[in-house]
Structure 1
Amino acid sequence: MTITRRSFLAGAACLGVMKTPLLASALQDTHSQPSTAQRLTDGWEFYRGPLDPKFQVWHSEELVTWQKVALPHCFNAYDGCDPDTPAYRGQGWYRRKLAIDNPYPQGRTLLHVEGAGQSSAVYIGTERAGEHVGGYDEFMVDITDACGRQKDSKAVPIAILCDNGRDLDRMPSDLSDFTLYGGLYRNVSLVYVPALSLEAVHTAVAFEPGKAAQVTVTARLYAPQPVSGTFDIKLAIVDPAGKTVHQQSLQRTSWNGEVELASFELPSPQVWAPETPNLYRCDVTLQSPSGTASASHRFGVRHTRFEEHGPFYLNGERLLLRGTQRHEDHAGYAAATPESVLRKEFELIKGMGANFIRLAHYQQSRLVLELCDELGILVWEEVPWCRSGITSPLFRQRGLDLMRIMIDQHRNHPSVLLWGLGNEDDWPSEPGGEDHAQIRAYMTELRDLAHKQDPSRLTSFRRCDFAKDIPDVYSPSIWAGWYSGSYVEYREALEKARTATPFFFHAEWGADSHAGRHAEDPDPMLAHILTGRGTAEKGFDYKLTGGAPRMSRDGEWSETYACDLFDWYLQTQESLPWLTGTAQWVFKDFTTPLRVDNPVPRVNQKGVTTRDLTPKEGYYVFQSYWTKEPMVRIYGHNWPVRWGKAGQQRMVRIYSNCAEVELWLNGKSVGVKKRTAGDFPCSGLSWDLSFREGENELRAVGKSGSSQASDSVRFQYQTATWSKPAKLTLRTVQSAPDHVTIEARMLDATGVPCLDSRTVVRFSLAGNGALIDNLGTPNGSRVVQLYNGRAEISLRRTGPVVASVHAEGIESAFLTLENTH
C-alpha cells in the first residue's frame, strides 16, 4: 500500500496518493507523541546498480560491496557535474534492519519518505510492500502486514530501490535542463499510528482586508479496517503570539472523504505578509478506543489580487513581487541538501530582499515551504511537466496525480501564491511537443483540477505562447541581453507582454556569470548584438553553437556584464507602477546534463551565488534595490588584479541603497555622490579613477540620515601588457596539514600574467591525496575555464603529492607538495 502525505514531524497531516485508486494514510503529531515516530538517519547501506530483490539484496556480499551511508543521500552527489562522464542514471539500493514495536493495539506501521528520485519500490524482506513514481512529492507505505509476516520483529529487513533511469512516461522530461537526481535525498521516517487516525487536516481561509477572517477546518480519516462507534475530536486555534483563540469539541462517527469539522471567525486577524509573516496554528486531536491521533499545522490569513493588465495586491496594498528561483541542488550534496544549508540558503534569499520565489520545476521539500512561511516569501510551486508533450495515457495520469498531491500536501502554506502547471512545453524535438492541441487540452485539465481542489489560488505557466490563454497568470520568454537582443530592449518587451495577456508575470531573466571573471571594458560582443528582432529564447539558443550572435553564446560571461544587466532590469522594474513582479533565474548555480561546454562543465551559471552559496557580485546589485538595511558594496571583492595603462581611468562601481556614498582611494577622498534612481549604472554611484601601479585600496561609506554602512577592497593594478598565452604556473595560496588550495595562472612568454585569458585547464593529482572536485564551482572543478587568467582548486592529502595543470597547446605545470606531518 503506497501513500503520500502532506506534512509530518513539523506540520499538518495531509496524505494524498500517487497511485489510483486513491489510498489513505495517517499522521501522528510527533510534538505530542514523540515515541510514535523515528527518523531513520543512520544504519543504512547503499549499493549503486541493479540487484534481484528476491535474493541478491540480502545475499550479495560475495557479489557487491555495500557502502555505509546516512540519510538523506543522493547517489549523484559526486558525479552530478563530472566534466568527463554524464551523471549516473539507473538503480540504487538502500537497506537496513528495523526493530518494529508498534505501541497501538491493531495499530498501523508506516514508512514515510519525504522525497526519493525518481521512481521507488519498498521491500520488506523479499516482499514488495509498495511503489511510487515521482521524484519530488512525499509518500507513505503501510508496511504493517508485510512486517507481520517476518519472523523477527526486532530485525525486520527493509530495502528501498531508487531508480532515476530514463522513462518517457514519467515527469520531468529526460531532456530537462537540470539533473534528474537519484536516491533517498529527503528524510525517511518510521511512523506508528492507531487503527483510526487522521489522514489529512486542512484549513481554508476567506478574508478581505478590514474584515473578519472566516476559517474552515476539514479532515480525512485513515482506517484500513472498518471502524464502528463514536470518537472524540478536539480542535484548537493558536494565534501568532501563542494564545488560544478558538476551541471546539466534537463527537463523530467514521466518515469517508474530506468533511468539515468546524467553521468560525477570527474577528481581527493578524495578517500574513512579507514584512509581517504572522502564522496561526491549527491543532486537531482524535481520541478513539484504538488510541490518540493528533495533527498540527500552521496557516496564515492574507488576501491576494491580480489586477487585469496591472499590479498585484496583497492585503489591499500593491506589492511588487521581487523574486528569484531555485533548484534543489548544492555542492557536494546534490539534492540531499542538509537542513542547516537549506536554512542558510533561504536566509540569503531573504537577505537579498526577495519576497517571492518560483520553485523550479517540481514540488520541493516541506522545509522549503516552512521557511517561506516563516520568512514571508510568496511561492510559485509547479508540477514537473517540463519540456514535453503528452507521451502516453500513463504520462497524463501521473501528471494529474502529481498536481493533486502537490496541492493536497502544500495548500495549508500561506506562502503559496500560484500553482504552476508546467514549464516550456513548446520545446522543439520533445516527444509529443508538436501536438499543440493535445498540450492545450492537457494544460486545461491541469488548470481545472487545480481550481477544483484549491479555488483560493490562481494557476500559472511559463513559456508556451500557443496556450497562454489557459493559465490564469502567464509568463512569456523574455531574455533581453542574454539569449537575444539587448538589455536596453527590456522595457519595450515588458510593455508588449502586458497587453498580450490579462495577468502577466515575468519569470526567468538574467545572465550566466563565471564567478571571479571581471571586465575592465564593455564586453566586445555588445557591438555585434542585433536589436529589434525580439527578446525571447527560441529553439536551442541555450547552446554555445549555431544561431544568431547573442551574449549567451558569444559574450565573456563576466560578473561585470551580469551586474550591468541586473542593474538595468531592476531599475526598469522599479519604475513600472503596473508591473506585478518578476523572478530572476536563478538564485544558485545548479547542475545540468545539457551544458557540458560551460566554463564550469555541466553547470548552469546564472546564479547570484555559486553552487556552494558563495555570493557573486550580482547578489549585491539586488540588495541595493530590494533591501532597507543600509548596505554598501564596492564591486570586485574577488578581483585581485585590475589592469590598464598607467594613468588610465577605470570605473569603480558601488552598489548601495544609501542616499549618498563617499569614496576614498588610497586614503584620499574622491568625492561624495548621491544615489539617483534611473542613473545607469549603479544609480549614479560610479567613479572613473586612475590607480597607481601595484597595491591600491578603495573604501566607501554610505549614509542615509543617521544610518551608515561601509565597505573596502584591496587589489593590485597591473600596467604591463601581455601577449598570447604561453605557459602555466602553479602555486600554493592556502595550506593546512591535510588541506591545500592551489592556484594556476596563465602567463605570456615573458612571464606577464594574461589577465583576460579564458583558457580551459585541467587539474590532476598524483600521490597521497585527492582533488576536491566535482563541486560545480569555479574553484571546485578539475576542468574549468580560467577567470581573468587564473583558477583555483583544493585538495586533501595524507602524504606527498604532485599537482599538475594542463591546457591544450600549453606545457603542463607541476607543483610538489611534501608531507608536512
Structure 2
Amino acid sequence: MKTKLTFLLLFSFLQVFSQSKINVKPRTAININQNWSFSKDPKAQGYALLKYTPVNIPHTWNAFDVLDDVPGYYRGAGYYKKKLQLQPSWKTKKIYLDFGGANQETEVYLNGKKIGQHIGGYTGFMVALNDLKFNGNDEIIVKVDNSYNEAIAPLTGDFTFFGGLYRNVSLVIVNDAHFAEEQYGTNGVYIHAENVSQQNATIQVKGNIADHTGKQLKVITTIIDAVANKVGESSIVGVNAFQLPQIQIKNPILWSPERPYLYKTITKLIDPTTNKVLDEIKINVGLRYFSFDAEKGFFLNGKQTKLIGASRHQDFAKMGNAVPSALQVKDVELLKEMGGNFLRVAHYPQDQAILDACDRLGILASVEIPIVNEITESEAFYNNCKAMQVEMIKQGYNHPSIIMWAYMNEVLLKMRYGNDPERKKTYLKNIENLAQQLEDLTRKMDPTRYTLMSNHGDVNGYTNAGLTKIPMVVGWNLYQGWYGGKSEDFGPNLDKIHAAMPDKPLMVTEYGADVDPRIHADLPVRFDKSLEYGMDYHQIYIKAIMQRPFIAGAAAWNLSDFSSETRSETMPGINNKGLLTLDRKPKNTYFLYKANFSPVPYIKIGDGSWTLRSDVKTKQNLSVISNLDSGTLTVNGKTYEKKAFKETLANWQIDLKLGKNTIIAKGYKNGKLFTDQSTIDFVLQPQAFLNGTHSFNILMGSQRQFIDDQQRIWLPSKAYEQNGWGHLGGEAFKIKNSGRMAYGSDKNILGTQNDPIYQTQQVGINGYQLTVPKGKYEITLHFAELMGNGIQTNLPYNLDSLIAEGKDVPPQRIFDAYLNGKLIIKALNLAAKYGVAQKVERKFECTVSDDKGIQITFKSVEGKPVLNALQVKKVK
C-alpha cells in the first residue's frame, strides 16, 4: 500500500511538472512603462549630476513648450532611468530591452556601462542586456537626444520633432536559442505571400535564429484560419538563417477592405533531441494581390479600387508624440468609419499598433522614412537614410496592409544653392543618386511591394532632376486653391501631369486647406481658415479625384490637426488641415468624406458642431451632409421643403430664434428613414447686447466670425449706417505685395490664445459709432501692431512658390483715442510701447445720457490709427 501511494504521488508530481513545463512560455514580453525617472540635460553635464522627476512611458519633454508663444522648443538631451526587477529564473535566459521608438539619437547604459545605441527617431530597436547582477540594483539609463544633426533625417519639416522615449518599452525574455534579428529590432521571422489568386496562394517563411547552442534546430510553421483550422504547414532543420519550403493554400479567403480576413502563422523553434519548444512567434497573414496601372489606377484582388483616405501624424493634444497605443488605434478606426481604405503613414514610420489596426480593419497603407524637404550631402546622412529604410521594411514586412514603401517627401522644397547653378546641379545629382540607392535597396529587400516618392507641385523641377522616373508610383502633393491658384485648377493640373508622364502610376499624396473650427464665413475666401472654405475646397477635390481613373488614389492632408511649432496662423504651432482636430473631434470636412465614401447610410447636420451661433439676422444657412437620396429639415417644429442631396450636400435657409433651437434632419434611402438632431444656441445681435444678456464683440477689418475660448462670438464689422453701428473710415489691413491672404495677418499674437481677434484690423480708422439707448456701458478696445520688424508675410512651407514677401515697414504710428469726446488714450505708440504682434487690451466705462449713443474717435498724431477689435457690454 505504501509503495503504491509513493508511486501515485511520484506520478502526480511528474504529471504536474510536465504540465508546468508545457505551459512555460518560451518567449515572454513584459511592459515596463511605469515608474521611470527623467531629467533634461541642457548643459550636457551627464546623467550623474541631474535631478530627476518621476514619469511614465510613453513620454516626451516637448508636450507643452511647443504650445507657448516663445519661438522654438527644447532640442537636446534627456535622461531616463529605471531599476529593473529581474527574476532569478531568468539567469539562464537571453533578455532584451525592446524600444518602440525614441527621438532621435539613443544611448542605453546598464549599471553605468554603455550597452547599445540607435540612430533615428521613428523605428523601433532592441538592446541585449548582459552582465546583470540580479540583486535588485540593476539600473538602466537611456539617453535620448533630439538635437539637430545634419547627418540624421529629417533635417526640417512642417511638423514638430518631439524628443523623448515616446513609445512603449518592454523586456523580452527568451531562451538562449531564439528567433531574432537584433540589429533591425525585429523578432526575426518574415512572412509574405506569392502567386496569390482566388484559387491558390503560396506562403514563404524565412528568418533568423540567434543560436548560442550550436545545435541543429527545427523550425516549423503552421497556418490556421480565422476559426483555428489548420490549413498548411512546413518545417526545416538548420541553423541561423532559414527559409522554409513553400506552403500552398487552396481557395484562400482574400484580404480586402471589405473583408480583412486574416490567417495566423505559428512559427516554432524546436530542439529535435528533446522536442522542447525554444521559441514561438505568431504573425497574422492577409492574402491579397494588387497592382498599379498608369491609366486605370489601382487594382486589389483583380478589382479596380480607388485608394481614398488620409495621411497621419502621430501627435495628440497636450501629449505631443507620447500617445498611448489605444488612442493611436482609434485614429485608424476613425479613418475606417469615414469610409477610408488607405492610410499614408507620414512622414515617418509609426507605432506598430497603427499597422496592426490597418491589418485588422482592412486599411491599405504606405510607410515612408523621414527624408523631408532637403538632404545633407554626406556619407553619414546617406548611410543613416539607408539604415532607416532597412529597419522600416524589416519591421513592417509582415503587415498585409502595406502596399508601398516610400523614401522622400518634397525633397526639392528647401532648395539649396539657388544662386550657384553649378553647385545646385551637383546637389540635385546627389539627391537623385540617393533616391536610386534607396529604390534599388527597397526592391531588393521586398520585390512584392511598390515604391513611392511624394513631390510638391514643382512638376518640372522633379522631372528635370530625374526623380519622377525612379519610383514605381509618383505621389504629388497639390494645393491649388490654398498656397496658390484656385481650387478649380486642381483637376486640369492632374490632367497635365498625367499627360507629361502617361506611363507612370500617379497618386495625390497630399491636398488640403486649413480649417479652424472656431472660424466661419458667409463669403469664404482662400486663407480665411473658415470651415466653409474648407468644405468648398474638399468638395472640388473629391469630385476631381473620383472623375479620373488614372489617379490611383488620394490621401487628404491630414487625418487630424498636428503640431508644427514653426507655424503661426490662427492657432500658432498647429497645422489646421486635419479632418479632425488635434484632440480628434470631427470637423465638417470629416463628415463630408463619410458621406462620400462610407457604405453605411448616413445623415449629419453639417453645422452640428457649430452649436453656438450669432448674427445680426435671424435667417441663417444650414447644411446637411448625407449619402442618402433626399432629406427634410425641421427647425423648432417648422418643417422645410424636401431636398435631394447633391454631391452629398443639401442647404436650407432657416429662421432661428434667440436662445435654444432644435434642429432635426430626416433623410431617406430606398424609402427607409434616417435622422440626426442638433441644438443651436443662437445669439441675435445687437439685440442681445442691448438686452444686457451678451457683450457685442466685433472684429475689425474682417469678413469672418470667430468663437473664442470663453465661447464668445465675434462678428465682422461693417461701415456705419445711420441709427445703427459700424466703423467710420479706414480700410482692412492687408499685407502689400502678398498673394496669400485677402485680409489680415497670420502673425502669432503674443499674450493670447485667441489670435484671430488681433490678426485683422481697420487701418486709418476715424472712429466707431453705436446707436444705443441711455445707460452705462463698458467698452474694451483691442490692439496689436501687425506691421514692423518680424511680421510674417510668407509661409515656412510655400508649396507653390507663388507668394511674394511684403517688406514694407510703416512709419511711426502714434494716435489718440476719445470716448464720447473724452480723451481716454493719449499718444498710443503700439510698436514702441508693446512691440510687434503683442495683445493690447484697454477697458473703459461710459454713460450715455443723450441720443448720440457711443462714439469712439481716433486722431492721428503721426501715421495711421488702427483698431483690431471692439467689445461693448451693457452694465446693469
Distance 1:426 1:375 in 2: 35
SS of residue in 2 equivalent to 1:610: coil
Q: Which amino acid aligns with 2:642?
A: V
Superposition deviation, residue 65 in structure 1: 2.8
Q: Which residue in 2 is equivalent to 1:468?
A: 468
Q: Which residue in 2 is equivalent to 1:515?
A: 517
Correspondent of 2:560 among 571, 575, 588: 588
Q: Which residue in 1 is equivalent to 2:631?
A: 661
Query: Rg: which structure is higher?
Result: 2
- For the 8 Å contact 1:81–1:592, the answer to whether it is kept is no
Q: Which amino acid aligns with 1:264?
A: I
- The 1:723–1:308 alpha-carbon spacing in structure 2 relative to 1, beyond 3 Å, is closer
Correspondent of 1:271 among 254, 268, 289: 254
Q: Which residue in 1 is equivalent to 2:530?
A: 558
- For the 8 Å contact 2:99–2:126, the answer to whether it is kept is yes
Distance 1:419 1:485 in 2: 31
Distance 2:40 2:344 in 1: 32
Distance 2:401 2:448 in 1: 13
Q: Which residue in 1 is equivalent to 2:806?
A: none
Superposition deviation, residue 287 in structure 1: 2.2
Distance 1:335 1:751 in 2: 51
Q: Which residue in 2 is equivalent to 1:202?
A: 190
Q: Which residue in 1 is equivalent to 2:495?
A: 495
1:255-654 aligned at under 5 Å gives the runs 255=240, 257=241, 259-288=242-271, 292-429=278-415, 435-463=427-455, 464-465=462-463, 466=465, 467-501=467-501, 502-520=504-522, 522-523=523-524, 525=525, 551=526, 555-595=527-567, 597-640=568-611, 642=613, 646=617, 650-654=620-624
Superposition deviation, residue 422 in structure 1: 1.3
Q: Which amino acid aligns with 2:265?
A: C
Distance 1:265 1:753 in 2: 78
- The 1:177–1:645 alpha-carbon spacing in structure 2 relative to 1, beyond 3 Å, is closer
SS of residue in 1 equivalent to 2:601: coil
Distance 2:372 2:342 in 1: 21
- For the 8 Å contact 2:26–2:278, the answer to whether it is kept is no
1:704-723 aligned at under 5 Å gives the runs 704-713=669-678, 714-716=680-682, 718=684, 720=686
Q: Which amino acid aligns with 1:718?
A: L
Deviations 1:301-349 (A, max 9, x none): 0010111232211001111111101111001211111122122222211
Superposition deviation, residue 708 in structure 1: 3.1
- The 1:723–1:592 alpha-carbon spacing in structure 2 relative to 1, beyond 3 Å, is closer
Distance 1:811 1:162 in 2: 46
Q: Which amino acid aligns with 1:610?
A: T
- For the 8 Å contact 1:563–1:618, the answer to whether it is kept is yes
Superposition deviation, residue 479 in structure 1: 0.9
- For the 8 Å contact 1:203–1:216, the answer to whether it is kept is yes
Correspondent of 1:136 among 88, 105, 122: 122
Give the number of aligned pairs. Answer: 685
- For the 8 Å contact 2:344–2:365, the answer to whether it is kept is yes
SS of residue in 2 equivalent to 1:370: helix
Taking structure 1 as the reference length, the TM-score comes to 0.78
Distance 2:84 2:726 in 1: 60
SS of residue in 2 equivalent to 1:388: coil
Q: Which amino acid aligns with 2:442?
A: A
Distance 1:321 1:202 in 2: 26
Superposition deviation, residue 433 in structure 1: 7.3
Superposition deviation, residue 369 in structure 1: 0.4
Q: Which residue in 1 is equivalent to 2:651?
A: 686
Q: Which amino acid aligns with 1:129?
A: I
- Aligned pair 1:109/2:95, yes or no? yes
1:223-234 aligned at under 5 Å gives the runs 223=211, 225=212, 227-234=213-220
- Aligned pair 1:673/2:643, yes or no? yes
- The 1:220–1:666 alpha-carbon spacing in structure 2 relative to 1, beyond 3 Å, is same
Superposition deviation, residue 229 in structure 1: 2.9
- Aligned pair 1:698/2:686, yes or no? no
Superposition deviation, residue 806 in structure 1: 7.6
Q: Which amino acid aligns with 2:675?
A: S
SS of residue in 1 equivalent to 2:551: coil
- For the 8 Å contact 2:343–2:365, the answer to whether it is kept is yes
- The 1:676–1:723 alpha-carbon spacing in structure 2 relative to 1, beyond 3 Å, is closer
1:159-178 aligned at under 5 Å gives the runs 159-173=141-155, 175-178=156-159
- The 1:249–1:438 alpha-carbon spacing in structure 2 relative to 1, beyond 3 Å, is closer
Distance 2:214 2:757 in 1: 71
Distance 1:442 1:142 in 2: 32
Judge which range, 97-106 or 575-584, deviates more: 97-106
Distance 1:291 1:644 in 2: 72
Deviations 1:350-382 (A, max 9, x none): 111110011111111110100010111110100
1:245-260 aligned at under 5 Å gives the runs 245-250=231-236, 252-255=237-240, 257=241, 259-260=242-243
- Aligned pair 1:49/2:49, yes or no? no
Distance 1:367 1:486 in 2: 38
- The 1:723–1:449 alpha-carbon spacing in structure 2 relative to 1, beyond 3 Å, is closer
Distance 2:148 2:781 in 1: 36
Q: Which amino acid aligns with 1:425?
A: V
Distance 2:91 2:269 in 1: 16
Deviations 1:261-315 (A, max 9, x none): 2312110111110010011111111123797111111111001011123221100
Deviations 1:508-558 (A, max 9, x none): 0010011121112x22x4xxxxxxxxxxxxxxxxxxxxxxxxx3xxx2110
Superposition deviation, residue 153 in structure 1: 3.4
Taking structure 2 as the reference length, the TM-score comes to 0.73
Distance 2:518 2:758 in 1: 7
Unaligned 5+ segments in structure 1 are 1-29, 526-550, 727-732, 735-740, 760-777, 791-803, 815-821
Greater RCO, 1 or 2 (C-alpha within 8 Å, sep 6+): 1
- The 1:746–1:570 alpha-carbon spacing in structure 2 relative to 1, beyond 3 Å, is closer
Q: Which amino acid aligns with 2:509?
A: A
- The 1:667–1:140 alpha-carbon spacing in structure 2 relative to 1, beyond 3 Å, is same
Superposition deviation, residue 77 in structure 1: 1.5
1:63-74 aligned at under 5 Å gives the runs 64-74=50-60
Q: Which amino acid aligns with 2:261?
A: N
Q: Which residue in 1 is equivalent to 2:842?
A: 811
SS of residue in 2 equivalent to 1:446: helix
Could you say what the CA RMSD is over the residues aligned between the two structures, in angstroms?
Answer: 3.3
- The 1:458–1:130 alpha-carbon spacing in structure 2 relative to 1, beyond 3 Å, is same
Q: Which residue in 2 is equivalent to 1:220?
A: 208
SS of residue in 2 equivalent to 1:79: coil
- The 1:813–1:342 alpha-carbon spacing in structure 2 relative to 1, beyond 3 Å, is farther
Superposition deviation, residue 108 in structure 1: 1.8
SS of residue in 2 equivalent to 1:322: strand
Distance 1:51 1:96 in 2: 22
Q: Which amino acid aligns with 1:207?
A: N
- The 1:688–1:164 alpha-carbon spacing in structure 2 relative to 1, beyond 3 Å, is same
Q: Which amino acid aligns with 1:211?
A: Q
- The 1:229–1:347 alpha-carbon spacing in structure 2 relative to 1, beyond 3 Å, is closer
- The 1:656–1:752 alpha-carbon spacing in structure 2 relative to 1, beyond 3 Å, is farther
Deviations 1:386-435 (A, max 9, x none): 11123310000010111111111111100001101210110234599761
- For the 8 Å contact 2:99–2:170, the answer to whether it is kept is yes
